[in-house]
Amino acid sequence: MKIETITLRRIRLPLVHFFETSFGRTYERQILLVELHSEGVSGWGEITCGEKPFYNEEWTDSAWLIVRDYVAPRVLGAALGAPEDLAPLTAHIRGHRMARGGVETAAWDLAARQAGIPLWKRIGGGARAEIPCGVSIGIQDSVEQLIGKIQAELDAGYQRIKIKIKPGWDIDVVRRVRERFPSIKLMADANSAYTLADIGHLKRLDDFYLMMIEQPLAHDDIIDHAVLQARLETPICLDECIRSAHHAEQAIRLRACRILNIKLGRVGGFREAKRVHDAARAAGIPVWCGGMLESGIGRAHNIALATLDNFVLPGDVSASRRYWTRDIIAPPVEVTPRGTIVTRDRPGFGYEIDMDYLKSITVCEETLG
Ligand code: OSB
Ligand code: MG
């Protein structure tokens, strides 16, 4: 396939409820969507960075510039034998994997549509027809509110609950949640809010038999996580610091984690996500699919990813209605009472795009090439 044009769209989507992590609150997403065109077929991707460079170094504005000035010139006109061939075209760009990944994932969707097959099949997935779902619940104004939210998600069928923690909102919160819900699958995500000086404090979490603690230490650290993991009974899951299969291999070799969260954007798309998945599988490390408050397009890509065989743990991929009053895809992503999302058998990412709604929330648009 030859990429003829790339259309970038910036959309604004207000969240149903603010989402708070240790690095701040988000009320509204500003998302870049990527549409690749080739021989009359479109492939769609989503750039999953935040509005501010707080999760990683990228943000919505930087992603626009990276795609326009550095990715598009390499990709436009390039003849790709397969979607695997796209990532190497942008490998000379340091970092900015979410910007690069938004274009890369669009190429996979395009290839799937050209072949008339579902994206999950095109990436080599399909190990399961229903993916197990968990939810990520942000920091709330009170523990009572948090407990109310957890109850609502359990009632909806979700298989595991992840809560966000930070200094001042951690041990006592986890204790009260555990007392109220003694037998649920529960985990905590610190988004890099602690240091090794907090070992004694973090060790107290071992009392609550959490499934895992996600990214307790620095966003760019692996070695301190290995030190911490040796001292904790609770498994560590790495998120922020795993940006490539190389990082995954290093973390595994150092025993810095027992579980990996894979995010398509963070690692730069399907090609690298599959490599991380394979490295983890070879080492007996289970993985799950993380989320970045995606619109329906990024969400549908996550669903495809989670059909690879080593995605054995419930991920942060959940129903559209938890995020948006109206999603940009139809039908919206729905979750069964069993806490699963059923994959679809349609070409590409498997949902229709609601173009009328998409147009109405588009802030700016540019076609390159
Ligand atoms: O660390 O997993 C994270 C959202 C934004 C940035 C980082 C993270 C998250 C989530 C939300 O946990 C997952 C989701 O529901 O999409
Ligand atoms: Mg995380």
CA–CA dist 68, 323 (Å, integer): 29
CATH 3.20.20.120-classified regions of the chain: 122-342
**pLDDT value at residue 299:** 98
**pLDDT value at residue 168:** 96
How sure is the predictor about 26, in pLDDT bands with cuts at 50, 70 and 90? very high
**pLDDT value at residue 359:** 98
Residue from 17, 18, 21, 242 whose mutation best tests the ligand 1 pocket (most atoms within 8 A of CB): 21
Contact status, residue 254 vs residue 287, Cβ threshold 8 Å: no
CA–CA dist 191, 265 (Å, integer): 16
Q: pLDDT for 79-97, tens place per residue?
A: 999 999 999 999 999 999 9
**pLDDT value at residue 10:** 98
CA–CA dist 64, 10 (Å, integer): 9
Which ligand is closest in space to the CA of residue 136? Answer: 1
274 is catalytic: no
CATH 3.30.390.10-classified regions of the chain: 5-117+355-368
Closest by Cα among 210, 204, 203, 217 to 177: 210
Which ligand is closest in space to the CA of residue 216? Answer: 2
263 is catalytic: yes
**pLDDT value at residue 308:** 98
In this structure, whether the domain defined by 5-117+355-368 belongs to CATH 3.30.390.10 is answered with yes
- End-to-end CA separation in angstroms for the chain: 15
Q: Which atom of ligand 1 is nearest to the CA of 26?
A: 5
Contact status, residue 106 vs residue 8, Cβ threshold 8 Å: no
Mean pLDDT of the chain: 98
User: Residue 174 has which token pair?
Assistant: 């986890």
**pLDDT value at residue 311:** 98
- 122-342 falls under which CATH superfamily? Enolase-like C-terminal domain (3.20.20.120)
SS3 18: strand
Q: 67 C-alpha vs ligand 2 centroid, how far in Å?
A: 25
Q: pLDDT for 180-210, tens place per residue?
A: 999 999 999 999 999 999 999 999 999 999 9
Q: 58 C-alpha vs ligand 2 centroid, how far in Å?
A: 16
* Average pLDDT estimate for 112-132: 98
Residue with tokens 């003849």: 79
CA–CA dist 145, 141 (Å, integer): 7
Contacts of 341 (CB under 8 A, 6+ apart): 130, 131, 133, 303, 317, 319, 333, 334, 335
Q: Spot the catalytic one: 162, 164, 166, 274.
A: 164
User: Residue 134 has which token pair?
Assistant: 């968990």
**pLDDT value at residue 204:** 98
Q: 136 C-alpha vs ligand 1 centroid, how far in Å?
A: 7
Q: What share of the chain is helix, strand, coil (3-state, %, to 5)?
A: 35, 25, 40
Q: Which atom of ligand 1 is nearest to the CA of 138?
A: 12
Lowest mean pLDDT among 20-24, 82-86, 106-110, 174-178: 20-24
Per-residue DSSP letter, 23? T
Residues in contact with ligand 1 by the CB-under-6-Å rule are: 21, 55, 136, 189, 191, 239, 290-293, 316
Burial grade of 183 (CB within 10 A; 0-12, 13-18, 19 or more): exposed
Residue with tokens 């909102």: 169
Please give the model's pTM, rounded to 2 decimal places. Answer: 0.98
Q: pLDDT for 209-260, tens place per residue?
A: 999 999 999 999 999 999 999 999 999 999 999 999 999 999 999 999 999 9
